[in-house]
């Protein structure tokens, strides 16, 4: 592992780029061999910035733009609407590229889907019980959008906002700075929250997310990204044959509303033990009460490392067929693994193929669900004068 706690996969990375070159898809020229408008050599060289193009309009006429760029053999596109990661393209062990992030081919598709594909989530990622919490003696009623609960910031969370976007490029990486100001009382949350999120593709092709936020009044914050992954390629079918490892000895059982009970239970001897890498499908059909409640995995894993100031490795996801591998390092204490249980075949993705249960999965780095109502969970309170900071790094390779 490197000093920053990121898994060292430089050798594998160089190998796959060599394979891509052998296939006629160099890191610099790969964009030319894809679709028209994909950044080419200039986007992968020092000084090249992400390229912006129109993507559509919201019903009120607001323009939505898309930014596309590549670095270190990784290609990504991002929308101003919701900060959505619209596509994430990676080579397999033979250098052949595929989009591994589920998404829609139009603005209307995202509006209709309601699945948070690739979106920035806030003010509070995951669920808050009964849509309310008490802070400093004041009870705050939030927007309720998941039964009796508030999910992912409510009906008008950050995933449904148009962000201000600036591009940048330098020797260490290229990317976007996304900003949004959430006014006091939005979705019921106290305080004006000023949010900055930076998406960076590093020189080595890592995808790094840095979150920052400040407030003028005590509030709660829990930001994450809701990308759905299928390392075999979006629209290719199930992820149950993917292999997963999680550095977590405990998880948070939930009630029937998927709200944590407060218990942090050991994973040993349960279908929730991913401490040794194995296929997702191995235990998912076990008649465990928690799997029956969630229709699969939709739980917070308690990362053994806890909260850290620098990102530490916590998860590995691998598709054996393609060899594509993603390693995640984060500063966060929790990770929500969601196995796409509610994908039901009613949404067609960018490939034109429908998404069914288990066709994608989420690995959302976060503080724990319902922390504002769970005093024994790590705190999500942010006060004036403080700064919310969180970093997650995705490193890609083939094995």
Nearest to 363 by CA among 397, 321, 388, 334: 334
DSSP string spanning 210-256? Answer: EEEEEESS-EE-B-EE---B-TT-TTS---TTSEEEE-EEEEE-B-T
Q: Which of 89, 186, 243, 364 does the annotation list as catalytic?
A: 364
Any catalytic annotation for residue 364?
yes
Between CA 241 and CA 193 the distance in angstroms is 41
Q: Which of 140, 226, 242, 367 does the annotation list as catalytic?
A: 226
C-alpha triplet 116, 298, 349: angle, nearest 5°: 35
Residue 348: is it exposed, middle or buried by C-beta count within 10 angstroms (0-12/13-18/19+)?
middle
- Token digits of residue 286: 């076990």
Any catalytic annotation for residue 394?
no
Between CA 301 and CA 246 the distance in angstroms is 8
* Residue 54 β-bridge partners: 65
User: With the C-alpha atoms ordered 87, 394, 225, 149, is the resulting torsion angle positive or negative?
Assistant: positive
Between CA 234 and CA 236 the distance in angstroms is 6
- Do 96 and 127 form a contact (C-beta atoms < 8 A)? no
CA atoms within 13 A on the CB side of 161: 23
Alpha-carbon distances of 280 from 39, 102, 245, 270, rounded to whole Å: 35, 18, 9, 13
DSSP string spanning 174-200? Answer: EEEEEEEEE-TTGGG--S-EEEEEEEE
Helices (H), the chain: 10-22, 41-44, 107-113, 289-294
Nearest to 384 by CA among 147, 217, 180, 211: 217
- Do 177 and 196 form a contact (C-beta atoms < 8 A)? yes
Indicate which residues carry an active-site annotation.
226, 364
């Amino acid at each position: 592992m490197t000093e920053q706690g990121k898994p060292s996969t430089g050798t594998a990375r160089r190998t796959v780029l060599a394979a891509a070159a052998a296939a006629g898809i160099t890191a610099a020229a790969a964009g030319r061999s894809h679709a028209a408008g994909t950044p080419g050599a200039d986007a992968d060289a020092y000084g090249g910035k992400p390229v912006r193009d129109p993507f559509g309009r919201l019903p009120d006429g607001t323009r939505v733009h898309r930014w596309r760029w590549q670095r270190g053999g990784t290609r990504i596109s991002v929308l101003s609407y919701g900060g959505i990661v619209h596509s994430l393209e990676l080579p397999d062990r033979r250098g052949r590229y595929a989009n591994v992030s589920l998404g829609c081919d139009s603005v209307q598709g995202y509006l209709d889907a309601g699945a948070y594909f690739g979106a920035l989530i806030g003010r509070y990622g995951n669920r808050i019980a009964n849509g309310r919490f008490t802070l400093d003696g004041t009870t705050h009623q939030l927007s309720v959008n998941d039964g009796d609960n508030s999910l992912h910031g409510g009906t008008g969370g950050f995933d449904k906002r148009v962000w201000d976007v600036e591009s940048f490029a330098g020797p260490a990486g290229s990317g976007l700075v996304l900003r949004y100001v959430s006014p006091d009382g939005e979705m019921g949350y106290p305080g004006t929250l000023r949010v900055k999120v930076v998406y960076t593709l590093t020189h080595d092709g890592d995808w790094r997310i840095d979150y920052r936020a400040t407030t003028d009044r005590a509030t709660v914050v829990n930001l994450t990204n809701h990308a759905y992954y299928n390392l075999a390629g979006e629209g290719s079918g199930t992820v149950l044959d993917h292999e997963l490892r999680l550095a977590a000895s405990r998880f948070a059982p939930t009630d029937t509303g998927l709200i944590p009970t407060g218990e942090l239970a050991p994973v040993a001897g349960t279908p929730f033990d991913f401490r040794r890498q194995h296929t997702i499908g191995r235990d998912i059909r076990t008649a465990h009460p928690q799997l029956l409640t969630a229709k699969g995995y939709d739980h917070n894993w308690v990362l053994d490392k806890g909260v850290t100031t620098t990102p530490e490795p916590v998860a590995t996801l691998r598709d054996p067929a393609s060899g594509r591998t993603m390693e995640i390092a984060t500063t966060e204490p929790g990770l929500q693994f969601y196995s796409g249980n509610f994908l039901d075949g009613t949404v067609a993705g960018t490939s034109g193929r429908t998404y069914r249960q288990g066709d994608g999965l989420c690995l959302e780095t976060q503080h724990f669900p319902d922390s504002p109502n769970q005093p024994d969970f790590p705190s999500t309170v942010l006060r004036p004068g403080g700064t919310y900071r969180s970093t997650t790094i995705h490193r890609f390779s083939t094995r």
